[in-house]
């Protein structure tokens, strides 16, 4: 099994943006654009990972911190295709071109996704995030783009680091959590024009949010809404 992390980054969203996939320090790739969104970076990271490993028959475990990407591939894509790449309310699906390319790249592949929480010290996620953000910053500063070695003969499947985990929740609690997650990330509900989301931030996170919003010329609320 190949274990890889994929991540995207955008400074301003949209703004200078990057994507990266990471297997090891000797096996990674990154790229980006002068202007794109975070979701475009996240999708492209996964797409380029599948393209880089297209010649292999190994199962691919993709560690990803984007619920948007995971749900797009595993839950929503089939329905979008049946509806001509339109959502339940008839509006066009965003990032259709990338999603169509990703759909093609997934054909015949053995893969699964693992959601990991971003920015909490997960080693492979942090490595991918660092490289994606470095590309975005390079585009912003006009410096050389750190593209990485790509998939070379030195690439070896990563060894998954298993960390102690808390005891599994009871079945009823797990079912409740899954229902909450489904409600939170189901963007195709035409009856839900608005959703209220409460978010607790540390002082450091709030400061970083305000700084990024100010740099983009937005309020923190507008900046957060632009991430969707």
Q: Which H/E stretch holds residue 114?
A: strand 111-115
Which of the 8 DSSP states describes residue 92? Answer: B
* Active-site pick, 59, 79, 84, 119: 119
Q: Please measure the distance between the N-terminal and C-terminal CA atoms of the chain and give it in whole angstroms.
A: 32
What confidence score (pLDDT) does residue 174 get? 41
Q: Which of 122, 129, 148, 188 is the catalytic position?
A: 129
For 148-159, the pLDDT digits (tens) are: 999 987 785 544
Q: Looking at residue 79, what is its pLDDT?
A: 95
For residue 203, what pLDDT is reported?
A: 62
Is residue 42 among the annotated active site residues? yes
CB-based contacts of 145, cutoff 8 Å, min separation 6: 30, 31, 32, 135, 138, 139
pLDDT attached to residue 190: 36
Q: Are 22 and 74 in contact (CB under 8 A)?
A: no
CA dist list (Å): 225 to 142, 201, 228: 28, 16, 6
Q: What is the pTM of this model?
A: 0.69
Compute φ and ψ for 139, nearest 5 degrees.
Answer: -65, -35
The reported pLDDT for the residue numbered 175 is 41
Q: So where are the chain's domains?
A: 2-163
Please report the pLDDT score of residue 179 as a whole number.
Answer: 39
User: What is the dotted CATH code of the domain comprising 2-163?
Assistant: 3.30.420.10
Which one of the listed residues 7, 12, 41, 48 is annotated catalytic?
Answer: 7
Residue ranges for the chain with pLDDT beneath 50? 158-194
Residue 43 token pair: 């999708």
Pick the catalytic residue: 15, 42, 148, 188?
A: 42
**Is the preceding peptide bond at 14 cis, omega within 30 degrees of 0?**
yes
Kindly name the residue from 15, 41, 65, 148 that is annotated as catalytic.
65
* pLDDT, tens digit, 9 for 90 and up, residues 176-227: 444 344 434 444 433 334 455 666 666 666 667 766 766 555 677 766 765 6
119 is catalytic: yes
The pLDDT assigned to 206 comes to 65
Does the active-site annotation cover 65?
A: yes
Distance CA 88, CA 146 (A): 40
In angstroms, the CA 185 to CA 153 distance is 39
Cβ 59 vs Cβ 112: under 8 Å: yes
Annotated active-site residue 89? The verdict is no
């Amino acid at each position: 099994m190949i274990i890889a992390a994929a991540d995207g980054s955008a400074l301003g969203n949209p703004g200078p943006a990057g994507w990266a996939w990471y297997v090891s320090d000797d096996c990674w790739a990154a790229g980006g654009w002068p202007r794109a969104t975070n979701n475009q970076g996240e999708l492209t990271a996964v797409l380029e990972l599948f393209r880089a490993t297209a010649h292999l028959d190994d199962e691919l475990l993709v560690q990803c911190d984007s619920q948007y990407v995971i749900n797009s591939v595993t839950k929503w894509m089939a329905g979008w295709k049946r509806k001509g790449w339109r959502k339940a309310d008839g509006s066009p699906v965003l990032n259709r071109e990338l999603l169509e390319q990703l759909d093609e790249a997934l054909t015949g592949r053995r893969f699964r996704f693992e959601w990991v929480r971003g920015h909490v010290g997960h080693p492979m996620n942090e490595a991918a995030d660092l490289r994606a953000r470095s590309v975005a910053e390079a585009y912003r500063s006009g410096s050389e783009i750190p593209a990485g070695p790509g998939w070379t003969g030195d690439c070896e499947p990563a060894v998954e680091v298993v960390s102690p985990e808390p005891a599994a929740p009871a079945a009823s609690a797990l079912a409740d959590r899954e229902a909450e997650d489904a409600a939170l990330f189901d963007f195709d509900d035409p009856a839900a024009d608005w959703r209220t989301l409460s978010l607790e931030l540390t002082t450091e996170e709030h400061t970083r949010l305000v700084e990024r919003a100010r740099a983009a010329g937005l309020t923190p609320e507008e900046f957060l809404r632009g991430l969707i």
